[in-house]
Each structure stands twice: as C-alpha cells, then as structure tokens.
Amino acid sequence: MRIFRLKAQHLEIGDRFIKADDRHAKIWEIAKIWTTVDGVRHVRLNNMAVQSDTMMVSVHALTDHQFFFACPAEFELIHRTPRRCFK
C-alpha cells in the first residue's frame, strides 16, 4: 500500500525533482512544505530556470514516479547546468 511509503518519505526545502513527462527535464525545487486542514501534505515547487513558474502538488504525487523523479544532487556538479536532470 502506497500510504506506508509516504510516511517514510523525507522531503526538505531545496530538494529537486523533474516531471516524468517533461522532455526538457526542467528542474523543480521544493520551496515550501505544509499540511492542509484535511491532513494531506503538499509542497510548492519553483522552476529553477524561471522563478515565476510555480506549482503546488501533494507529496503523494511528488513521490509517485508516474509524475516526478528526484534529481540527484551531484547532477549539477557533473554537468554544470541547473536546467537538466536525468531519470
């Protein structure tokens, strides 16, 4: 059951992700984490290339590989670009 995976998932402000269906692999960074009144955890993501682009998603969606993948921290050091990330 996926609910157990979510409880173990540890997210922090600054963690980076890419959308699974994004062919340009833009990096999205967690800017805010909160729990809504119904108990569902959400995050606000900022696009690293265009700071005015933001989105709000549930932690459940963020940790589902059908929608997002975590971006490895060492990616930017190896490839020297904040705009690309591999799955």
pLDDT by 10s per residue, the chain, length 87 = 344 444 446 899 999 999 998 888 889 999 999 999 999 999 999 999 888 999 999 999 999 999 999 987 665 554 444 444 544
The correct answer on CATH 2.60.120.260 for the domain covering 2-79 is no
CB 2 within 8 A of CB 60: yes
- State whether residue 6 is helix, strand or coil: helix
pTM beyond 0.85, yes or no: no
